[in-house]
Amino acid sequence: GLEIGKLLSTEGVVTLDPGYTNTGSTTSKITYIDGDAGILRYRGYPIEQLAEKSSFLEVSYLLIHGELPSKDELQAFTDRISRHTLLHEDLKRFFDGFPRDAHPMPVLSSAVSALSTFYQDSLDPFNKDQVELSTVRLLAKLPTIAAYAHRKSVGQPLLYPDNSMTLVENFLRMCFGFPAEPYEVNPKLAKALDLLFILHADHEQNCSTSTVRLVGSAHTNLFASVSAGIHALAGPLHGGANSAVLEMLDAIQADGGDIKSFVKRVKDKEPGVKLMGFGHRVYKNYDPRAAIVKATADDILNELHVTDPRLELAKELEQVALTDDYFISRKLYPNVDFYTGLIYKAMGFPTKFFTVLFAIGRLPGWIAQWREMIEDPASKIGRPRQVYVGETERDYVPMDKR
Ligand code: ACO
């Protein structure tokens, strides 16, 4: 519910809405969600159709430019991106400076932040060519940065991008290939990862996207705004939930697969115990992305010849939750993160890396939303109000009187 605060400002009554549950921060033409009906559309196109028929770069173009590209437009966009996948050699040295066991999300965010020091010719938010250049640079370089973060964490050599491959194939090769050894891309694996990127590509004013917009509302450059978004995404209540789901499944398995006692701990609201991958601020129905991921999880695991008992455990857990009044009454359904971790694990990614994959997928959405805001003549610096509830005026107390 919305509480009306006590404060009257020169603009009128200040509303108090913790977590912005009912407060719109912007108008937008990018993504439509009907949380009660479980509908998600990018620029009007249903997510199910895009998942089936489109590709990640085509969806990126759609989100950023507003329309599906023609064949030539997509080719030009793709070619331009593939010419920007290399990182400046000095930026590569950053990866040597971080501790090997560092979490890859702050490594990713730091490297993206550093792009604004290496590519100073594309920082002006109001120069359309520069914005397009920083857009291309981000889309091209984030997979390279992500792959390098992974390679460093496992002590393996960094591979230069191979621009004859698609963005996703190239990313897989940089994550899993070795120098002087041909890397055979499994086309089904590449397709599956491309699909997961499409499903994550935008989700209107979620925590990380709102962060990107808020930081950018001060006319901060795109690299720095996206870097802030990556930090927001890392939290376990947001993108970090995909890693947390697998850790939860591991813990249940280690406990002998006792789902019922785990669910009881969740319902008893034991501190820190939640059913990760369940619940959503907007969806009060099955998350349509989760439905697509669930439907493909079996196929992908079969294709990769992986049998993972945690997939069965996840399905049982979902069944128990969906028939339990605690979850029914609160309209808690699986969100996109519930099944993705199992797929990422089957693909060979370490658990800590899952949120990095989410960031690569979400990048076009962040860019599209930042650009929409910058291009909107009505947009203003984001500056929420507050209702002050602290001490009224009082006199300073000298140290010897306290
Ligand atoms: N497990 C158990 N109980 C839950 C869960 C959950 N996953 N999610 C919500 N609840 C309960 C709350 O305890 C609360 O109960 P109450 O009414 O008795 O106090 C009620 O459901 C409403 O939950 P809120 O926390 O008020 O809902 P909110 O919209 O603020 O939070 C959120 C949404 C953060 C996603 C929450 O559902 C959650 O923490 N889920 C687990 C983490 C997760 O999967 N995050 C990924 C979100 S999707 C994404 O970012 C890609």
Q: Do 394 and 229 touch, CB atoms closer than 8 A?
A: no
In order, the DSSP letters of 310-349 are: HHHHHHHHHHHHHTSHHHHHTT--B-THHHHHHHHHHHT-
Q: pLDDT value at position 14?
A: 87
- Give me ligand 1 centre to Cα 237, in Å: 8
pLDDT for the residue 324: 94
Q: Which amino acid is present at 384?
A: P
For residue 109, give both structure tokens: 């965010």
- Write down the pLDDT at residue 9: 60
> Is residue 222 a contact partner of residue 125, using CB atoms and an 8 Å limit?
yes
The confidence band for 251, taking pLDDT boundaries of 50, 70 and 90, is very high
Q: What is the mean pLDDT of residues 129-158?
A: 96
Residue 240, classified by CB atoms within 10 Å of its CB into exposed (0-12), middle (13-18) or buried (19+), is: buried
pLDDT tops 50 at residue 5: no
Summarised one tens digit per residue, pLDDT across range 74-126 is 999 999 999 999 999 999 999 999 998 999 999 999 999 999 999 999 999 99
User: What whole-number distance in Å separates Cα of residue 373 and Cα of residue 211?
Assistant: 12
Q: Which of 21-30, 180-189, 296-305 has the highest mean pLDDT?
A: 21-30
Is the Cβ–Cβ distance between 243 and 345 less than 8 Å?
A: no
Cα 177 to averaged position of ligand 1 atoms, centre (Å) = 39
Between 62-66, 185-189, 299-303, 326-330, the lowest mean confidence (pLDDT) is in 299-303
| 278 Cα: distance to centroid of ligand 1 (angstroms) | 7
Place of tokens 């009007």: 44
CA atoms within 13 A on the CB side of 290: 22
Of 154, 160, 163, 159, which Cα lies nearest the Cα of 81? 163
What is the band of 11 on the pLDDT scale with cuts at 50, 70, 90?
low
Nearest CA to ligand 1 atom 34: 237
| Residue 290, ligand 1, Cβ within 6 A | no
- The residue whose CA is least distant from atom 22 of ligand 1 is 330
- The residues carrying an active-site annotation are 280, 337
Torsion angle defined by CA atoms of residues 358, 361, 365 and 370, in that order, rounded to the nearest 10 degrees: 70
Convert the pLDDT of each residue in 42-79 to its tens digit. 999 999 999 999 999 999 999 999 999 999 999 999 99
Q: Is the CB of 331 under 6 A from ligand 1?
A: no
Q: Is the pLDDT of residue 321 over 80?
A: yes
**Most confident of the following: 40-44, 298-302, 339-343, 345-349:** 40-44
Q: At what angle do helices 222-234 and 354-375 cross, to 10 degrees?
A: 140
Closest ligand 1 atom to residue 337 Cα is 51
Residue 2 has pLDDT above 60, yes or no: no
pLDDT at 54: 98
Kind of pairing, strands 12-16 and 31-34? Answer: unpaired
| Angle between helical axes of 309-322 and 241-254 (0-180°, round to 10) | 100
- pLDDT over 50 at 286, yes or no: yes
Under the banding of pLDDT at 50, 70 and 90, the label for residue 8 is low
Q: For 367-383, what is the mean pLDDT? A: 97
Residue for token pair 């455990």: 313
In short, whether 188's Cβ falls inside 6 Å of ligand 1 is no
**pLDDT tens-place string over residues 325-340:** 999 999 999 999 899 9
The single-letter DSSP state of residue 334 is: B
Q: Which two tokens stand for residue 281?
A: 């601020």
**Residue 213 beta carbon below 6 angstroms from any ligand 1 atom:** no
Bridge pairing between strands 31-34 and 45-46: unpaired
Tell which atom from ligand 1 comes closest to the C-alpha of 287.
48
Q: Which of 208, 203, 235 is nearest to 105 (CA)?
A: 235
Contact 356, 104 (CB under 8 A): yes
283 lines ligand 1 (CB under 6 A): no
Residue 141 has pLDDT above 70, yes or no: yes
Instruction: ipTM value, please give it.
Output: 0.96
Q: Ligand 1 mean position to 361 CA, how many Å? A: 23
* pLDDT at residue 1 is higher than 50: no
pTM of the prediction?
0.94
Query: Tokens standing for 55?
Result: 């590709």
What length does the chain have? 402
Distance from the alpha carbon of residue 280 to the mean position of ligand 1, in angstroms: 6
Ranges 137-146, 246-255, 296-305, 383-392: which has the least confidence: 296-305
Band (pLDDT 50/70/90 cuts) for residue 10 is low
